[in-house]
């Protein structure tokens, strides 16, 4: 087939040319249009078709660019709208959390009318192998003093004020190894001591020591401050019993307490600057 076109291509081209000329002559004889005009039309027709195709192609490309720009603008508008909706959602969450905090505080104040509270913001945290300390943005000028108990917005014990300056103070948290509080088993009234423990502190737990020999303590028991001696307020929730263990000497038992407050998530606390003592 290839050889056929190579040998006969010139003859075929000549034949096509003769046919074209004859068509032009026939067209000229059968109409009022001149021969040269028809011949020009025949020759120009393919070029007009090509020109029309090229023009259509450029128009299509131009339309595509316009469509892309429109989609890009629409995408930008959607991103902006999404960002605004996300901002509103975040603000709604913040407002909801603030409302819940205020409701908790109001409830706390109503439940413990014997307390005077001073709110404070946690501005720093210090954590080491043996201590858990927080720094507050208020101090003695706000009525805060060493020995004041500190609670969260639900009344759970956070710790005790260790140092107090004019506009700052530090908290020894209930997990700190220096922490030791008179405690009571809410269910039975058994008096014990809740204290920080070096080994337990790493797991976010504290120790309940000096259990009675016939103690009926069970897992889940709620532990609160005893208030005995008038040094600390009574009925502040410390935590709940998670596990009961026996000391290494095998003679005494102690309990592992899980704090009720989440020390890591706190940003604001409430210092009890005065309270009614328990006789």
The per-residue pLDDT string of the chain (279 residues; one tens digit each, 9 = 90 and over) reads: 545 445 555 565 556 566 555 655 555 555 444 555 555 555 556 656 555 665 666 677 767 777 777 888 888 888 888 887 787 777 766 666 655 555 665 567 666 777 888 999 999 998 887 788 999 999 999 999 999 999 998 899 999 999 999 999 999 999 999 999 999 999 999 999 999 999 999 899 999 999 987 888 999 999 999 988 788 999 999 999 999 998 877 788 999 999 999 999 999 999 999 987 655
Give the three-state DSSP class for 221: coil
Q: What is the pLDDT of residue 221?
A: 96
Same domain, 104 and 160: no
* Residue 217 placed within a domain: yes
* Residue 65 placed within a domain: no
Same domain, 90 and 182: no
Q: What is the pLDDT of residue 64?
A: 73
Same domain, 106 and 133: no
- Number of domains forming the structure of the chain: 2
Same domain, 101 and 223: no
Same domain, 258 and 272: yes
Question: What pTM, to 2 d.p., does this model score?
Answer: 0.63
Same domain, 87 and 146: no
Q: Which of 66, 90, 111 is the last residue of a domain?
A: 111
- C-alpha distance from residue 21 to each of 17, 24, 42, 45, 169 (Å): 6, 5, 10, 15, 109
Q: Are 224 and 234 in contact (CB under 8 A)?
A: yes
Q: What is the pLDDT of residue 170?
A: 97
Q: Which residue in 248, 193, 269 sits closest to 225, CA to CA?
A: 193
Sign of the alpha-carbon torsion through 153, 155, 157, 161: positive
* Residue 12 placed within a domain: no
Q: What is the pLDDT of residue 169?
A: 97
* Residue 186 placed within a domain: yes
Same domain, 145 and 205: yes
* Residue 2 placed within a domain: no
Q: What is the pLDDT of residue 5?
A: 46
Q: What is the pLDDT of residue 34?
A: 54
Task: List the CATH number of the domain containing 200.
Answer: 2.40.10.350
Same domain, 96 and 187: no
Q: Which of 60, 95, 111 is the last residue of a domain?
A: 111
* Residue 25 placed within a domain: no
Same domain, 106 and 166: no
Q: How far apart are CA 63 and CA 60, in angstroms?
A: 5
Q: What is the pLDDT of residue 82?
A: 83
Q: What interhelical angle do 2-29 and 35-111 show, nearest 10?
A: 110
Same domain, 173 and 261: yes
Name 97's bridge partners.
Answer: none
* Residue 165 placed within a domain: yes
Same domain, 171 and 228: yes
Q: What is the DSSP pairing of strand 169-173 with strand 237-246?
A: unpaired
Q: What is the pLDDT of residue 32?
A: 47
Domain limits for position 247: 116-278
């Amino acid at each position: 087939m290839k050889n056929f076109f190579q040998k006969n291509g010139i003859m075929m081209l000549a034949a096509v040319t003769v046919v074209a000329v004859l068509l032009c002559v026939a067209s000229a004889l059968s109409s009022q249009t001149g021969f040269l005009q028809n011949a020009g039309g025949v020759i120009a027709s393919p070029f007009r078709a090509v020109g029309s195709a090229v023009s259509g192609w450029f128009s299509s490309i131009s339309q595509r660019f316009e469509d892309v720009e429109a989609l890009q603008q629409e995408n930008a508008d959607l991103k902006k709208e999404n960002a605004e909706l996300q901002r509103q959602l975040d603000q709604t969450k913040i407002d909801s959390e603030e409302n819940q905090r205020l409701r908790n505080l109001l409830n706390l104040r109503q439940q413990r009318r014997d307390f005077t509270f001073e709110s404070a913001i946690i501005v720093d945290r210090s954590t080491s192998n043996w201590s858990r300390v927080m720094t507050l943005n208020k101090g003695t000028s706000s009525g805060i003093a060493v020995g004041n108990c500190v609670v969260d917005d639900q009344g759970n014990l956070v710790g005790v004020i260790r140092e107090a300056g004019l506009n700052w103070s530090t908290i020894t948290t209930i997990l700190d190894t220096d922490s030791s509080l008179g405690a009571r088993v809410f269910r039975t009234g058994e008096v014990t001591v809740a204290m920080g423990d070096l080994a337990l502190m790493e797991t976010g737990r504290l120790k309940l020591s000096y259990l009675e020999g016939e103690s009926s303590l069970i897992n889940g028991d709620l532990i609160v401050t005893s208030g005995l001696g008038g040094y600390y307020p009574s009925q502040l929730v410390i935590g709940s019993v998670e596990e009961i263990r026996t000391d290494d000497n095998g003679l005494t038992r102690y309990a592992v307490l899980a704090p009720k407050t989440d020390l890591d998530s706190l940003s604001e606390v409430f210092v009890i600057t005065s309270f009614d003592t328990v006789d």
